[in-house]
Amino acid sequence: MGGTAQQSKLNMTGIRAYIGTNKYYKRIFVIMLPILAQNMITNFVSLLDNIMVGQVGTEPMSGVAISNQLIFVFNLCIFGGLSGAGIFTAQYVGKGDNEGVRHTVRMKLFIAVFSSLAFAIIFWLAGGDLIRLFLHEGKEGLDLQKTFAFGMEYLHVMMLQMLPFAIMQMYSSTLREAGQTVVPMRASMIAVAVNLVGNYILIFGKFGAPQMGTTGAAVATVVSRFVELLILVIYSHRHTQKYPFFQGLYRSMRIGKTMAFTMIRKGLPLMLNEILWAAGMATLNQCYSIRGLEVVSATNISSTIGNLFFCFTMALGSTITIMIGHHLGAGKLDEAAADFKKIMLLGVAMCIVIGIIMVVLAPAMASVYNTSDTVKAMAARFLMVIGCCMPLEAYVNACYFTLRSGGKTVITFIFDSAFTWVCQITLAFALTHFTDLPILTIYILVNAMTFIKCLIGFFMVRSGVWIVNLVAGED
């Protein structure tokens, strides 16, 4: 696999380099807004799911939250694995090589099937042991055994949605990398509507349906995954004139050896990074859970609400992948370097506003949950910390997706998951196990380390090592 690297370092000076034209921002928002809408709808429904389950009680909400920590690791594995191949998809689209795109999609399919099978085995054999890691007595006297039972019931049903979710992501990511962001958004909107209605009916037993509680929430999610998958498959294979790489996709499962090796070499660190990062987030929450089950409930509330706001940074990250990936694949290296500066500044500016909104609304957002005042107050304070860190997260996110667009997956591995495990988890473990510091103080100190990550990201991007055409010179 050939490649062309930019030899000069990025010129990071001059404010004009960070400001785009109205036409440029229109182009960004045309790509970003459908992705943002899709992510926000999905996370808003997750928030409503969370609130609905919370109406049943704190133990069911905590059990579902713990199981979702495990499902989150699987989701990020799929995201990372498909993104590794997706780096090449975006660049092949920019090059106009349909056969190259087919090879990357087939690689995505293998990753989706293998990952789903591997995680299903892990959850079936060790799911109970993993859930127990989060169960610790607190000050509220919550029932740990009931929490465990709710978590296990939810996890076992959610395992049924893993393969359809993975294949759905294969189609959705490929369409986005080809510049089609509206159709995945519409499919997601329909799916979340199905999920929301299913939750209302099955959790609370409406319209003659049995009252299934947490199991009902899982069943509704499974049904919505199949609906979303069906929509994307039908659309993709009915529009092969516009997306010719879907034509004949399954006539052969062949992937060129050189191409497969290169995608594995570039994609494996990215996949491992996402798994380790997600596992790192779960481990961080496990460290916090040492201070009691009410902390699990509070972190669940704050992270669920926080994810709704993080949709902005993730949508900008996907936009970076598409725009910079297309420029790199087409050999427009200077345009790729210019894109980072403009999109990064836009993301940071947006997240300053979003962070302020989070801080102001934190108490009101936490108060909608049917849980104790202690949990609500703790969740509100956690949300305020997250809001203060939003601009830092926006910059880190821009650096991460930029480095990844150029295939620098080993660097992103060190930058992302290695930092989480070596720095943040080490600090959280030490503070929760060996000090009597309040949980809020610990939470602030761990999140404040994002500033160090910003500095690392600045120097990595500034070096220009990511400005690489991965598909140059291919037939």
| CA distances for 247 relative to 51, 109, 204, 240, 363, angstroms | 43, 16, 44, 6, 52
pLDDT number for residue 470: 62
Whether the predicted pLDDT of 127 surpasses 50: yes
Tell which wins on pLDDT, 139 or 318. 318
Residue 24 has pLDDT above 90, yes or no: no
pLDDT in tens, 180-189: 888 998 998 8
Lowest mean pLDDT among 16-25, 93-102, 163-172, 290-299: 16-25
CA distance 453 to 441: 20
Q: Is 162 exposed, middle or buried (0-12, 13-18, 19+ CB in 10 A)?
A: buried
State pLDDT tens for residues 387-446. 999 999 999 988 888 887 776 767 777 888 889 999 999 999 999 999 999 999 999 999
The set of residues, in sequence order, having a beta carbon less than 8 Å from that of 121 and lying 6+ positions away, is none
Task: Determine the pLDDT at residue 28.
Answer: 85
Q: What are phi and psi of 14, to 5 degrees?
A: 90, 110
Residues 115-125, mean pLDDT to the nearest whole number: 95
Q: Which comes out higher in pLDDT, residue 308 or 43?
A: 308
The percentage of the chain sitting over the pLDDT mark of 70, rounded to a whole number, equals: 92
In the chain, where are the structural domains located? 4-469
> How high does pLDDT run on average in the chain?
85
Instruction: Note the pLDDT of residue 276.
Output: 86
Smallest CA-to-CA distance from 319 within 298, 291, 350, 340 is with: 340
What pLDDT does residue 139 have? 63
Q: What is the pLDDT at residue 377?
A: 94
Site of tokens 């902005």 = 312
Q: What confidence tier does 194 reach under pLDDT thresholds 50, 70, 90?
A: very high
Name the pLDDT band for 352 (thresholds 50, 70, 90): very high
Residue 160's alpha-carbon distances to 72, 157, 202, 357, in angstroms, are 15, 6, 17, 37
